[in-house]
Structure 1
Amino acid sequence: MKILFANKFFFRNGGSEVVMFNEMDLMRQADNDVIEFSMRDPRNLPSKYDRYFVSEKSYRSPSRSSRIKSALSFIHSPEAVEKIGALILDEKPDILHCHNIYHQLTPSIINAASRLNIPVVLTLHDYKPICPVYTRLRGGDVCTKCSDGRFESLLTQRCADGSLGKSALLWAEARYHAMVRSYHRVSRFIAPSRFMRDAMAHRFGKDKVIHIPNGIDASRIRTSDDDDRYVLYLGRLSPEKGVETLLQTHAADDASWRLVIAGTGPLLEDYRSRFPSAEFVGHLTGEVLETTLRRASVIVVPSEWHENSPLSILEAMAHAKPIVASRIGGIPELVRDGVTGLLFEPKNSRDLSGRLKALLDDAGLRTRLGGEARRVVEAEYSLSRHATALLSLYESLTRQFKSPSKAVS
C-alpha cells in the first residue's frame, strides 16, 4: 500500500508531528510505501518528495498587498492544490492521511485528493473543523457556539485575540470550506479521544468519526524508583494550559512543595517574573527530559480547555509516574481517578492543592498509581495497537474506493 501523509511541518514541532512521524515509521515497518507532503522549511527532515512541498509561508508581511495575498492563500492555497495533485498523479498513493494541514496547506488539499478519487483520513489533533480558533475557548471559558457549523459568533465575540480583523479572516476561512464542503469530503476522521469523537460526530455523523487512541513505545522507557520530591509540569506556557492556576496554587501553599516548569511559550517571561519560587527549566529534550521525568514525584496537567489526548500524559504513564490532572475533555480517559492518577476541577486551586499534597505525602499511593499507569499504557496505548487499527482503517477505505460502485464526489 502507498500512503501519502500531509502535515504543514516536516520536523518535530509539536504533538501532531510526533504522532505523524511515528505512524510513518510504523507503516514502513509493515512494508508499506510512505509519501510525504509538507511546506518547505530549513528545519525539515530530509524527504525525497520535497520538490512537491509548498513554499514557506509566515503571514507576517508588512506590505498591504502581500497581506491580502497571504490572507487568500490562508483560506485556499492554489499552490498546495497544484502540487499535491501532481504528487498524487506521479506517485499514485492509495490513501491520503492528513494531520495538521491548516493555513499553510489548507483543507483545499482534501478536495484535490477527492477529485482524484483518493480516500482521505484526517487526524483530529484539535477542534479546528468545528472551532475556527482551534480551542473551543472564549475569554478563558469553554465555548461551543460554532459546533453546529454556523460561525457568526466568531465575529460577534471577536474570538481571535479580540481582533475583528483576525476573527473575520478565520470566519471567511470557515465559511469557504463549509461552502465547498472540504471537511465533508473526508472519508474518516480519526479522534484520539472518545471526547473528541463525540464532539465531532455531532457535526459530521458518528459513522464518519472513529476513535483510534495515540500510541507510545513504552518498551524504550526505563522506569525508576528515583523520586526527588518535585511536581513537574511539561508543556506549552499559554493561557489554556492552566499553568497560572498551578503557579498560583504553588504560591498560595507558600512554596511548601517544589515545582518544576519545563516548557516555553508566550507567557514564560511573565510567569518567571511573577512566580519566582517556581523553577523554570525551559524546553527539555533527550536524556535531560528523561532524567527530569524519572526524578519527578508527580506530573501535573492543569489544563483549562478540552484537551484531546495529551502525549505528555502517555509519556508520564510510560515512566510509571502518577498524574494530577484537570477533569476536562479527553483527560479522564487517560488519568483515571484513583487508578492511574487523581483528577481535580479545572481552575480550582484548593482542589489542585489537595490532590497534589495527597500524593506528595504518600509514597505508597504514588507507587501504586504510577505502576497502574504503566500497566494501562502498555496494554491499551501501544504503538502496535495503534498501527493495527490504522492499517485496518486504510485497508477498509481503499477497498471501498476501488469498488466499481464508488462514485467520485
Structure 2
Amino acid sequence: MPQPEQPHTILLVHCHYRLPGGEDAVFAAECAMLQAHGHRVITYERNNDAGGLAQKLLLPLRAIYSTKTVREVRALIRKEQVDLVHVHNTLLTISPSVFQACFKEHVPAVQTLHNFRIFCPNGILMRDGHVCEECPQHGLGCAVRHSCYRGSRAQSLVCAGIYAFHRLLGTYRKVNLITLTEFDRSKLLEFNRKASRPVFTPERLYCKPNGVAAPNHSPLPWAQRKNQIVFAGRLEELKGLRTAIEAWQLLGPDAPQLIVAGTGPLEAWAKENAPDTVTFTGQLPHGTLTELLDQSRAALCPSLCYESFALIPAEAHAVGTPVLASDLGNVGAAVQEGIDGLHFAPGNAAALADAVRKLQNVGETFDLTAMQQKACQAYNAEQNYRELMTIYREIMRNENS
C-alpha cells in the first residue's frame, strides 16, 4: 500500500502563558522547521490576558468550551484548506473545544503533550514539593481539594472542570497525542489503564522528542572551560532553584560559579539568599545561553518534578557539556551516571553539593565528543522532522481508512 502524502497546509495552534517558557520556544521552532521544509503553516495563537472585567468573568466558561475558538478555527480550516491541525497548548483561552472544530471539519488533529494536564490539573504531578499522582488514581477532584492550580481552589475547579467536561465528551479519545519522552508515554498509559473509563485511545499515542539545534563545532575541551555551572529555566520551586542556592551555601567560597539564567517567582528569594559564588543574568537569548553552556563545566537541572522534556540536558549534551541532574523523571532519565553527567537525590542540597565536588574530580574523564555526537543524532532537526512526518502520515492514513 503506498504511503499517504504528508500534509501540505498545517494549522499550528498555541495559547501562550503569561510567562514565556519552553512550550512557546518549541511552538516557534516547530513552525520554523515545517516552513523550512516547504510546508504552508498557518497559526492560531492566543494568550491568557483576559482583558476587561466582562472577559475575566466569562473566562472560566470559555476555558471549558469556547464557541469563538470553534467558529474561528472552522473558518480557518475551510479558508486555508488545512490538511492537519497540530495543537500545542489550549489552556486557558483556546480551550480543548478547538478539537471540536477539527471533528466538524473532518480534519485530523494531534496535540503535543508538554505536561500531564489531561490527568493532573496543575500539569506537573507535584504537590507540596513532592511528586503526587493522586488525581490520576482518585480523580480530578483531588486537585480542587488541594488547590493545586496556582494555589487557588476556584482556579483549580475551572482547570479540573475543563478536563472533566472533555472526558465526558470523549474529546481526547478522538485526538492523536504526542508525548515528548518514553517516560511520559509509559506514565500516561499507566494512568489510562487505571482510569475508570479510558481518557485517550492508546493506539493514538505517539512519542517524539523536541528538536535541538546542533552546533557546527566540536566541544570545547574540559581544561579550556570556565569553572562555572549553569542553571537555566524559570526561577520557581519546582525547578529546584532553592536546592541549588542551598547547595552553593554549603559549598562555600571555593565553589564553581553558578550562573542562574531566567526569571520567575523565586527570583527575589534566590538573590537575597545566594552567596557571592552565584550570578544572576535574567532571561537570555537562546544563542547566548548555548554559548554559555558551551563554555561551562556543567548544566544544573535540580528539578523536583517529572518534567515533560529535559530540554536543558539535551541542549547541554548537544554542545558536549555534562549535566548534574536530580534522579527523577525525565531529567534523571536524560543522564547516564558517569557517562554524560551525574545524579543526585532531588531536593537534597547536601547531595547536590557532593555531586558538584565529584564533578570537579571526574569531569575531565567525560568523553565530551561522544556525548555531543549521541545528542546530535537523537535530537537533530532533520531527525526530528522525519519523525514528525512519520507520525503525520500515520495519522492521515488512519483517519482516511
Same structural fold, with TM-score higher than 0.5 when normalized by the shorter chain: yes
The 3 A distance-change label for structure 1 pair 30 and 12 is farther
Q: Are the equivalent residues in 1 in contact too, given 2:218–2:369 (CA < 8 A)?
A: no
5 Å-filtered alignment, 1:33-112, equals 33-39=40-46, 57-59=48-50, 61=52, 63=53, 65-112=54-101
* One of 375, 378, 381 as aligned partner of 1:380: 378
* Equivalent of 2:214 in 197, 202, 218: 218
Structure 2 residue 39 is matched with structure 1 residue 32: yes
User: 2:394 — aligned with what?
Assistant: 396
Q: What is the CA–CA distance in structure 2 between the aligned matches of 1:84 and 1:148, rounded to whole Å?
A: 34
Per the alignment, residue 283 of structure 1 pairs with: 283
The residue number in structure 1 matching 2:320 is 320
* Corresponding letter in the other structure for 2:49: S
Letter paired with 1:194: E
Structure 1 residue 181: Cα displacement: 2.2
Q: Provide the residue aligned with 1:208 in structure 2.
A: 204
Match of 1:185 among 148, 153, 174: 174
What is the TM-score when the length of structure 2 is the normalising length? 0.89
Aligned equivalents of 1:154, 1:84: Cα separation in 2:
30
Residue 173 (structure 1) aligns with: 162
Q: Is the 8 A contact 1:321 1:371 kept in 2?
A: no
Matched letter for residue 219 of structure 1: P
Matching residue of 2:336: 336
2-structure distance, mates of 1:20, 1:91: 20
Aligned counterparts of 1:385 and 1:193: Cα–Cα separation in 2: 15
Corresponding residue number in structure 2 for 1:358: 358
The answer to whether the 8 Å contact 2:179/2:209 transfers is yes
Instruction: Give the conservation status (yes or no) of the 8 Å contact 1:5–1:37.
Output: yes
Counterpart of 1:6 in structure 2 is 13
1:149 deviates by 7.7
Asked if structure 2 preserves the Cα contact closer than 8 Å seen for 1:193 and 1:333, the reply is no
Q: 1:2 to 1:337 in 2, by over 3 A?
A: same
Aligned to 1:117: 106
How far apart are 1:150 and its partner, in Å?
A: 2.2
Moved more, 393-402 or 22-31: 22-31
Paired AA for residue 390 in structure 1: L
- Secondary structure of the residue aligned to 1:306 is coil
SS state at 1:384 partner: helix
CA distance in 1 between counterparts of 2:218 and 2:280 reads 25
Bigger share in helix: 2
- Aligned CA RMSD, in angstroms, stands at 2.2
Partner-residue secondary structure (3-state), 2:328: coil
Shift of residue 129, structure 1, vs aligned partner: 0.9
Deviates more, 1:304-313 or 1:239-248: 304-313
Number of residues paired by the alignment? 382
1:402 Cα deviation (Å)?
A: 2.7
- Greater shift, 201-210 or 386-395, is seen at 201-210
* 1:223-261 deviations in Å (ceiling 9; x for gaps): 323411012111110110011011101101224212111
TM (normalized to structure 1)? Answer: 0.87
Whether the 8 Å CA contact 2:249–2:275 is kept in 1: the answer is no
Alpha-carbon distance in 1 for matches of 2:325, 2:68: 42
Aligned to 1:261: 260
Is there any run of 5+ residues in structure 2 with no aligned partner, and where? Answer: 1-7, 193-199
For 1:11 and 1:146, how far apart are their aligned partners in 2?
Answer: 25
Task: Name the % identity.
Answer: 25
- Residue 10 of structure 1 contacts residue 38 of structure 1 at CA under 8 Å; is this kept in 2? no
Q: Distance in 2 between matches of 1:263 and 1:57?
A: 21
How far apart are residue 285 of structure 1 and its match?
A: 1.3
Alpha-carbon separation, structure 2, partners of 1:91 and 1:214: 27
Q: Which sits farther off after the overlay, 112-121 or 24-33?
A: 24-33
Structure 1 residue 2: Cα displacement: 1.8
Q: Does 1:154 align with 2:167?
A: no
Of 19, 22, 43, 1:15 maps to 22
* Residues 35, 161 of structure 1: alpha-carbon distance in 2 compared, 3 angstrom cutoff: closer
Matches of 2:218 and 2:264, distance apart in 1: 29
Would you say the 8 A contact 1:237–1:265 is kept in 2? Answer: yes
| Residue 250 (str. 1) matches residue 248 (str. 2) | yes
Shift of 1:268: 0.5
| Distance (whole Å) between structure 2 residues aligned to residue 327 and residue 163 of structure 1 | 30
Q: Which residue is 2:197 aligned to?
A: none
d(CA) in 2 for partners of 1:9 and 1:328? 27
Letter in 2 for 1:269: A
Paired residue type of 2:166? H
Can you give the 5+ residue segments of structure 1 that lack an aligned partner in the other structure? 40-55, 404-409
1:31 offset after TM fit, Å?
2.7
